[in-house]
Amino acid sequence: MTSEFECFDLDAVVAHIAAAVGAAPQQVRAAVDLLDAGNTMPFIARYRKEATRGLEETALRAIEDALDAARELAQRKQTILKTIDGQGSLTPELRRQIVQCSDKQTLELLYLPFKPKRRTRATVARERGLEPLADILWKQARLNRPRADVLRPYIDSKKEIPDADAALQGACDIVAERWADDVELNCWLNQQAHDFGHVVSTVKRGKKVEGAKFETYFDHREPAKRVPSHRLLAMLRGEAEGFLNVGVALDGDFTLRKLRPRLAHNPQFEFHAELLRTVDDCYARLLLPAVGSATLQTLKERADEEAIAVFASNLRQLLLAAPAGPQTTIGIDPGFRTGCKTVVVDGTGKYVTSTTIFPTAPKNDVEGAARVLKDLIAKYDVRLIAIGNGTASRETDEFVAGVLKSSGIDATKAMVSESGASIYSASELAVREYPDLDVTVRGAISIAHRLQDPLAELVKLDPKSIGVGQYQHDVNQKLLQTSLGREVQSCVNSVGVDLNLASMSLLSYVAGIGPKLAERIVEYRDAHGRFESRASLLKVPKLGPKAFEQAAGFLRIRNGAQPLDDSAVHPESYGVVAKMAQSLAVDARALVGSAALTSRLRAEDFVDGAVGLPTVQDIIAELAKPGRDPRSEFRAVKFSDGINQLSDLREGMILDGVITNVTRFGAFVDIGVHQDGLIHISQLANTYVNDPAEVVAVGDLVRVKVLEIDVERKRIAVSRKQV
Contact 535, 543 (CB under 8 A): no
Q: Specify whether 185 is located in the same domain as 43.
A: no
CATH code of 80's domain: 1.10.10.650
CA atoms within 13 A on the CB side of 269: 19
In terms of domains, do 438 and 482 share one?
yes
Alpha helices in 604-651 (DSSP H): 613-624
pLDDT of residue 351 exceeding 50: yes
- Looking at the predicted structure, is the pLDDT value of residue 126 above 70? yes
293 and 176 belong to one structural domain: yes
Gap between the Cα atoms of 559 and 468, Å rounded: 37
Examine the domain organization and report whether 364 and 429 are in the same domain.
yes
User: Is residue 35, in this structure, part of any structural domain at all?
Assistant: yes
Tell me, yes or no, whether 16 and 26 share the same domain: yes
What CATH code is carried by the domain that includes residue 701? 2.40.50.140
Closest listed residue to residue 243, CA positions, set 220, 213, 270, 284: 213
Kindly report the CATH number assigned to the domain that includes residue 488. Answer: 3.30.420.140
Instruction: Name the pTM for this structure.
Output: 0.88
> Among 308, 337, 354, which residue terminates a domain?
308
Provide CB contacts within 8 A for 360, sequence distance 6+: 334, 335, 336, 339, 340, 392, 395, 396, 399
Domain membership of residue 354 (yes or no) is: yes
**Mean pLDDT throughout 508-536?**
96
Q: What is the pLDDT of residue 3?
A: 64
Strands 497-498 and 555-556, by their bridges, are parallel
Mean pLDDT of 687-712: 92
pLDDT at 533: 96
- What number is the average pLDDT over the span 573-599? 95
Question: Mean of the pLDDT values across residues 137-153?
Answer: 94
pLDDT(162) > 50: yes
Cα 97 off chain centre by: 34
CA-to-CA distance for 90 and 101, rounded, in angstroms? 15
Is residue 701 domain-resident? yes
Higher per-residue pLDDT: 644 or 600? 600
What confidence score (pLDDT) does residue 469 get? 74
Q: CATH no. for residue 617? A: 1.10.150.310
Whether residue 531 is found in the same domain as residue 455? no
Residue range 594-616: mean pLDDT, rounded? 93
Q: Please report whether residue 317 resides in a domain.
A: no
Pick from 500, 522, 544: which residue ends a domain?
A: 522
- Asked if pLDDT for residue 375 goes beyond 60, the answer is yes
Stretch 298-311: mean pLDDT:
94
The reported pLDDT for the residue numbered 229 is 93
Count of domains for the chain: 5
Quick: pLDDT tens for 224-262.
Answer: 999 999 999 999 999 999 999 999 999 999 999 999 999
Residues 354 and 432 in one domain: yes
Domain membership of residue 374 (yes or no) is yes
Kindly report the average pLDDT of the chain as a whole number: 94
Domain boundary among 504, 522, 540: 522
Q: 683 lies in which domain range?
A: 646-719
Q: Does position 2 have pLDDT exceeding 80, yes or no?
A: no
pLDDT over threshold 80, residue 468: no
Q: Is the domain of 455 the same as that of 531?
A: no
Residues 222 and 369 in one domain: no
**SS3 sequence of 439-494:** HHHHHHHHHHHHHHCHHHHHCCCCHHHCCCCCCCCCCCHHHHHHHHHHHHHHHHHH
pLDDT at 1 over 50: no
Q: Is residue 639 scored above 90 in pLDDT?
A: no
| Mean pLDDT, range 344-356, rounded to an integer | 96
Is it the case that residue 378 has pLDDT exceeding 60? yes
Q: What's the distance, Cα to Cα, between the start and end of the chain in Å? A: 69
* Whether residue 584 sits in one domain with residue 504: no
pLDDT band at 15 (very low <50, low <70, confident <90, very high): very high
State mean pLDDT over 393-413: 93
pLDDT in tens, 434-453: 999 999 999 999 999 999 99
User: Would you say residue 122 has pLDDT above 60?
Assistant: yes
3-state secondary structure of 245: strand
**Is-contact 497 555, C-beta < 8 A?**
yes
Within a domain: 696: yes
Tens digits of residue pLDDT in 257-297: 999 999 999 999 999 999 999 999 999 999 999 999 999 99
Which residue has better confidence, 327 or 723? 327
**Residues 422, 438: one domain?**
yes
- Kindly state whether residues 518 and 443 are assigned to the same domain: yes
Contacts of 96 (CB under 8 A, 6+ apart): none
- Tell me the CA distances in angstroms from 566 to 499, 540, 555, 570, 632, one per residue in order: 10, 19, 8, 10, 20
With cut-offs at 50, 70 and 90, classify the pLDDT of residue 465: confident
Q: Is residue 610 part of a domain?
A: yes
Do the domain assignments include residue 632?
A: no
190: domain CATH number is 1.10.3500.10
Per-residue pLDDT band at 610 (split at 50, 70, 90): confident
pLDDT band for position 645 (cuts 50, 70, 90): confident
Res 306 pLDDT > 70: yes
Residues near 20 by beta carbon (within 8 Å), at least 6 away in sequence: 62, 66
Which one-letter amino acid corresponds to residue 279?
V
Quick check: 531 pLDDT over 90?
Answer: yes
What is the DSSP-derived secondary structure letter of residue 585?
T
